[in-house]
Amino acid sequence: MNALPTCPQCHSEFTYEDGGVYICPECAHEWKAQAGDAAEAAAKVYRDSAGNTLQDGDTVTVIKDLKLKGSGGVIKMGTKVKNIRLVDSDHDIDCKIDGFGAMSLKSEFVRKA
Ligand SMILES: [Zn+2]
């Protein structure tokens, strides 16, 4: 059993959870479950430039030339990237690109293939 928080308004101990929201049956107060709860983490949705939902293992196409820091290389528009892995970071996608190796991309620069 998970311990549920007491109601922040009336301190009732009879709160219950419903779809990521805590509800107090005594004063009818509702509030969101804490960030970091499993329900919240699972709700994170990754979308490509066209608004399609991305998932681990998807193949995407790069929609614009992406200059690489340091090496001077460019990932050309239209490059296919297979088997992406979604990450929660300043970029969204970890992947490997033929000829470039391990790479980080932003979902706004790709489209689901
Ligand atoms: Zn309450």
Residues 38 and 72 placed together within one structural domain of the fold: no
Sheet holding 110-112, edge to edge: 80-81, 60-62, 110-112
Looking at the structure of the chain, the number of domains it has is 2
User: Is there a domain that residue 100 lies in?
Assistant: yes
User: Is there a domain that residue 27 lies in?
Assistant: yes
- 34 C-alpha to ligand 1 centroid (Å): 17
What is the largest distance, in Å, between two alpha-carbon atoms of the chain?
A: 63
Residues 71 and 104 placed together within one structural domain of the fold: yes
How far apart (Å, rounded) are the C-alpha atoms in residues 12 and 27? 8
pTM tops 0.85, yes or no? no
DSSP annotation string for the chain = -PPPPPPTTT--S--EEETTEEE-TTT--EEEPPTTSHHHHHT---B-TTSPBP-TT--EEE-S-EEPTTT--EE-TT-EE-S-EE-SSSSSEEEEETTTEEEEE-GGGEEE-
- 4 C-alpha to ligand 1 centroid (Å): 13
At residue 30, the pLDDT reads: 94
- 43 C-alpha to ligand 1 centroid (Å): 26
Domain of residue 107, residue span = 60-112
- 8 C-alpha to ligand 1 centroid (Å): 7
Residues 66 and 105 placed together within one structural domain of the fold: yes
How far apart (Å, rounded) are the C-alpha atoms in residues 25 and 104? 46
- 6 C-alpha to ligand 1 centroid (Å): 8
- 51 C-alpha to ligand 1 centroid (Å): 39
At residue 35, the pLDDT reads: 56
Output the domain CATH number for residue 28: 2.20.25.10
Query: Mean pLDDT per segment of 10 residues, for the chain of length 113 residues?
Result: 82 91 95 64 80 96 91 90 92 92 94 95
